[in-house]
C-alpha cells in the first residue's frame, strides 16, 4: 500500500488522482498485479508417458479410466492437443522451456537437450520461473526424462531427494523386465516408482505451506514395458479386446518412403501384430491395464488435492508427453508425424471457471502450457523470450477464434501442421502427406497429390518454420 505521507508535500489533489489511477489499473487488469498484491494460484502439474486417445478421448472401446473421466467433468478438455515432438525427451523439453524443437535442435530422444542446446542451457524452465517468483516447487517422478546439468535440477525443485533428473526410485533388479522395453508383467504396488512418487505428492499436499506451490508429478505408465499391479490386468477380458479402429492392413501403400523409415524400427509389429493376433491382443490388454494404472495413480493425487484446503485455489493440468500407436500404420509406439503419435491428452481445471466441464476443439500445442500458467498465476515473465502463447482466450471462451495450428517436428525439415480440419506433413526431402480429418479421422487416405487441394497445402505451408535448428545427436526411435 502506498503511504499517503510521502505525497503530502505535493498536495492533496495530486494524491487523490494518483490513488484513483492505481485503483483503476489494478481493477481493470488483475492478471498484471504485483506478486504480493494478489492471491496466487497453486499449480498441480500432472504428466503421464505415452498415453494416447484410447481412454481419455474414448477413441478405443472399453479402456477403463474412471478417475480421469470424473476429473474431465470438472476441467476444460482439449480434444486436439498436440506435442511439439512425438517422443518423450524433446516433447518435455519443449513444454518445460516453452521453446519449439525447431529453435532448440532437440528433436529426438537421446539428444541430451539441457546440456547440448545453447538455448536450453540458458532458458528459464517453467519450475525455475515459478521458484524465482516466490513459489515452493516440488517435483517427483518422470519429469524431464533427461539429465539436467549438475546443480540445475536443484534450481528447479526445492524438495529432496530428486533421484537425478527426475527418475526413480526404481525397484530392485528382480522386479524389472531386464534389458528390454517390450513385454508385460505384474508386480506389487510397493515396487513401482509411480506409486512411491504419487505417495510423495500426496504427503506434500497434506502439509501446511506458507507460500504458493508448483507441484510436478511425472508417471512412467503407460510407457512400455507394460508392467502394472495384477488387479489392473484383471479389469479386462482378453476375449473382449478389440483391434484398433485405426488399423488398416494396406495403410502404408500411399505414404512417402521417408515416412516408412520411421515405422516399426524395432520390428515389434510382426511379433505383436497382424500375423500374431493373440499376442497383439495380449499387448493391447497390457497397454489398457497400464492406462488404468496411470488413471488410478493420478486419481489418488487429485482426490487428495480436492480434500485439502488448497482445492479452491489450485490449477490442475493433466497431459501426456506424446501419443502412441498400437498397430495403426502397422506400427507400435510413437516417433511418427501422424495423428496417433502427435495427439495427446490435455485437460486443465481453473478454480471456479464457468467453462469447467466444457470441450475445446481448436488445435493447441503443449508448448503453450508455460505461457498459460504464467498468465493465470500472474508471474513475472521468464528471463528469456519463449515461443509459448497463453491458452487463456480459449479457456475462458472455448469458441474463441484461435488462428494457431499445432506444429510437430521430428528432425530438421520434417514437420506436421495440424489445423482444425487437416493434417499436413512435409518431410525433409520435400515429400508430402495430407489428411482431411472431417472425412478420414484415421488418416487412411493421403490426398496430398489432389490438385484441387493445392490451396489448402499452400495455406498450411505458411506455418512451416522458416528455419530449423541443427539436430542435436539422438535417435529417431
Catalytic residues: 88, 145
CA distance 199 to 301: 8
Determine the Cα–Cα distance for residues 28 and 22; give it in Å rounded to an integer: 10
DSSP 8-class letter at 338: S
Q: End-to-end CA distance of the chain: give it in Å, rounded.
A: 56
Q: Is the preceding omega at residue 169 within 30 degrees of 0, hence cis? A: yes
Name residue, grid cell 499517503: 4
DSSP annotation of 31: G
The CA distance from 123 to 179, in Å, is 35
Residue 99 CA: distances (Å) to CA of 211, 240, 367, 371:
28, 43, 7, 11
Note the maximum CA span of the chain.
89
Instruction: Burial-class residue 169 by CB neighbours within 10 Å (0-12, 13-18, 19+).
Output: middle
Cα separation, 6 vs 22, whole angstroms: 15
Q: What does the buried/exposed string (b/e) look like for 39-78 if buried means 16 or more CB atoms within 10 Å of the residue's CB?
A: ebbbbbbbbbbbbbbbbbbebbeebbbebbeebbeebbbb
Amino acid at each position: 500500500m502506498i503511504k499517503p505521507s510521502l505525497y503530502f508535500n505535493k498536495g492533496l489533489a495530486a494524491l487523490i488522482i494518483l490513488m484513483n489511477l492505481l485503483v483503476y489499473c489494478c481493477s481493470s487488469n488483475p492478471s498484471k498485479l504485483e506478486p504480493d498484491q494478489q492471491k496466487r494460484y497453486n499449480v498441480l502439474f500432472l504428466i503421464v508417458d505415452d498415453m494416447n486417445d484410447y481412454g481419455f478421448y474414448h477413441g478405443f472401446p472399453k479402456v477403463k479410466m474412471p478417475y480421469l473421466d470424473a476429473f474431465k467433468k470438472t476441467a476444460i478438455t482439449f480434444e486436439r492437443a498436440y506435442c511439439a515432438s512425438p517422443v518423450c525427451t524433446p516433447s518435455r523439453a519443449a513444454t518445460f522451456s516453452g521453446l519449439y524443437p525447431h529453435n532448440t535442435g532437440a528433436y529426438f530422444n537421446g539428444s541430451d537437450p539441457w546440456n547440448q542446446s545453447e538455448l536450453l542451457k540458458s532458458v528459464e524452465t517453467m519450475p525455475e520461473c515459478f521458484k524465482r517468483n516466490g513459489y515452493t516447487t516440488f517435483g517427483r517422478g518422470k519429469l524431464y526424462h533427461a539429465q539436467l546439468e549438475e546443480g540445475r535440477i536443484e534450481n528447479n525443485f526445492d524438495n529432496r531427494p530428486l533421484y537425478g533428473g527426475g527418475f526413480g526410485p526404481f525397484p530392485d533388479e528382480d522386479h524389472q523386465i531386464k534389458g528390454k522395453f517390450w513385454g508385460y508383467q505384474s508386480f506389487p504396488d510397493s515396487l513401482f516408482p509411480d506409486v512411491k512418487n504419487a505417495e510423495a505428492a500426496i504427503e506434500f499436499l497434506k502439509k501446511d505451506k506458507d507460500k504458493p506451490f508448483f507441484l510436478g508429478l511425472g508417471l512412467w505408465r503407460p510407457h512400455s514395458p507394460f508392467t502394472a499391479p495384477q488387479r489392473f490386468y484383471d479389469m479386462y477380458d482378453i476375449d473382449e479386446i478389440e483391434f484398433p479402429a485405426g488399423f488398416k492392413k494396406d495403410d502404408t501403400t500411399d505414404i512417402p518412403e521417408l515416412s516408412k523409415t520411421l515405422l516399426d524400427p524395432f520390428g515389434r509389429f510382426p511379433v505383436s501384430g497382424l500375423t500374431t493376433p493373440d499376442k497383439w491382443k495380449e499387448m493391447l490388454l497390457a497397454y489398457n491395464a497400464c492406462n488404468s494404472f496411470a488413471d488410478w495413480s493420478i486419481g489418488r493425487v487429485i482426490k487428495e488435492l480436492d480434500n485439502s484446503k488448497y482445492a479452491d485455489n489450485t490449477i490442475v493440468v493433466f497431459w501426456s508427453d506424446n501419443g502412441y500407436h498400437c498397430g495403426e500404420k502397422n506400427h507400435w509406439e510413437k516417433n511418427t508425424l501422424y495423428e496417433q503419435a502427435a495427439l495427446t491428452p490435455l485437460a486443465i481445471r481453473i478454480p471456479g471457471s464457468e467453462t469447467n466441464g466444457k470441450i475445446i476443439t481448436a488445435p493447441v500445442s503443449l508448448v503453450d502450457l508455460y505461457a498459460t500458467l504464467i498468465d493465470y498465476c500472474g508471474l513475472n515473465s521468464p528471463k528469456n523470450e519463449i515461443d509459448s502463447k497463453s491458452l487463456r482466450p480459449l479457456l475462458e471462451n472455448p469458441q474463441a477464434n484461435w488462428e494457431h495450428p499445432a506444429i510437430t517436428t521430428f528432425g530438421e525439415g520434417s514437420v506436421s501442421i495440424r489445423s482444425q480440419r487437416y493434417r499436413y506433413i512435409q518431410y525433409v526431402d520435400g515429400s508430402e502427406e495430407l489428411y482431411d480429418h472431417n472425412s478420414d479421422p484415421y488418416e487412411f487416405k493421403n490426398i496430398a497429390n489432389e490438385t484441387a487441394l493445392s490451396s489448402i497445402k499452400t495455406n498450411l505451408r505458411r506455418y512451416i518454420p522458416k528455419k530449423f535448428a541443427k539436430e542435436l545427436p539422438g535417435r529417431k526411435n
